Structure 1
Amino acid sequence: MQETSPGYLRGDLFKTIIENTPLVSVDLIVKHKGKILLGKRVNKPAKGYWFTLGGRVRKDETIKSAIHRICNMEIGIIPPENPGFIGVFEHLYNDSIFDDVSTHYVNLGYEIEVSDLEDLPRDQHNEYRWFGLEELIQNDEVHKYVKDYFTTQKGTVPQQKES
C-alpha cells in the first residue's frame, strides 16, 4: 500500500494498534453458481490457508463504503446495493504481520453473488479457487474461521482462539 493512499498506517503505528486493539474488518463470502470463492493467503495471519476475501474498515469509513472499496480492490466489482449480512464473527490469531504480536479481528460477514471474475489481485492471495460447500467444510486447508461462516448459528459469535 502506498504511503499516500487513504487509510495507510505506518508500520510502527499499525503495530501499536494491532498490539492494543481489535481490528474491524469486512469478509466477503463471494458466491457464483452455488460455489464459494476462496483465496490462498500469502500473508500472516492465516498464511497458507484458503480464506475469504476482505479487508479492514478504515477510520471514518462507513461500512457501506468499506464494502464498496474492498469489492473493488479484492475482486474488481461494484458490490450489490444491499449485500447479505450474515453476522459478526471474531477471529483471534497467535500471529500477525509483526513478530510476537497476536491479531484480533471483529469481522462483519457479507455474502455477495457475482458473475465471472477475471484478473484477481495477487498481493493477499496467490491462488483462487471455487469451493462447493461440502468440500469447503471438509478441506483441512480451508481455515476454520472460514468454516464458521457456514457452520455457526446466526446470531452467535464463535470465540475459539487459534492454536
Structure 2
Amino acid sequence: MTEGWIPEDEWRTIVEHAPIVSVDLLVRFNGGLIFGKRENEPAAGYWFIPGGRVQKRETREEAVHRIAGEELGADVRIIESLGAYEHIYDTADVDGVGGKHYLANGFVVEAESSNLVPDDQHSDLKIFSESPEPLHEYVRQYLQDASTLPEWP
C-alpha cells in the first residue's frame, strides 16, 4: 500500500476518534542515530526518529522494514523491541480534530546503508552521536529505555 491509502475523510474520522498504531525506529547507522527534522504536525520543528503507522494485516516487524525503506531507503535488522508507548499530542496533521493519539511501538534497528534523503515529513535527515535539539520528549524516552544503544549523552 502507498501513502494516502486511507481516503482523507476517513483518515480525519480515525484521527478524531481512535488511537493510531505505529512504529518508531531508533536507527543505528555509521556510529550514530538517524534523526529527521519534522515538518508536519504533530511534533513540527522537533528532531524525531523515523516512524509511521502500521497498516492492516501488516505485523509491527513488517511495518519496521517498510518504513525504513520508505523513509530512509534502508534495509534494517531489528536489534531490540522497546515495547508500546502512549503518545498523545495536542496537535495533528488534520485541522480541528483535537490532537492525535498514537500507540507507538519502539524499536532499535541497525541500517547497513541509507540514502538519507528527506521525505515530505522531514526538512532534513542527519546522523547524530548525541541528542540534537530540539529533541521531542517522546524520543528522549526511547533513548532512555533502549538497552542496546551505547551510552547516549
TM range (shorter): 0.7 to 0.9
Gap change, CA 1:59 and 1:10, over 3 Å in 2: same
Matched, 1:121 2:118: yes
1:6-155 correspondence runs (5 A): 8-80=5-77, 82-101=78-97, 102-133=99-130, 136=131, 139-152=132-145
Q: How many corresponding residue pairs?
A: 146
* 1:161 aligned residue: none
- The RMSD of aligned alpha carbons is 2.1
The answer on whether the counterparts of 1:25 and 1:107 sit within 8 Å (CA) in structure 2 is: yes
Distance change (3 Å), C-alpha of 1:142 and 1:6:
closer
Residue 7 of structure 1 and its aligned partner are, at CA, apart by 6.8
Structure 2 stretches lacking a partner, 5+ long: 148-153
Contact 1:7 1:59 in 2 (8 A): no
SS of structure 2 residue aligned to 1:13:
helix
CA contact (8 A) 1:25 1:55 kept: yes
TM-score by length of 2: 0.85
Give the gaps of 5 or more residues in structure 1.
Answer: 155-163
CA shift in 2, pair 1:8/1:45, >3 Å: same
Higher strand share: 2
Taking a change above 3 Å as real, the CA distance of residues 10 and 77 of structure 1, as seen in their structure-2 partners, is same
**Aligned-residue identity in percent:** 38
2:76 is paired with a residue of what secondary structure?
Answer: coil
Runs of 4+ in structure 1 off by over 4 angstroms are none
CA contact (8 A) 2:75 2:111 kept: no
TM-score (norm 1): 0.80
Task: Give distance in 1, aligned partners of 2:11 and 2:129.
Answer: 36
Deviation at 1:59, TM superposition (A): 1.3
8 Å CA contact retained: 2:29, 2:112 = yes
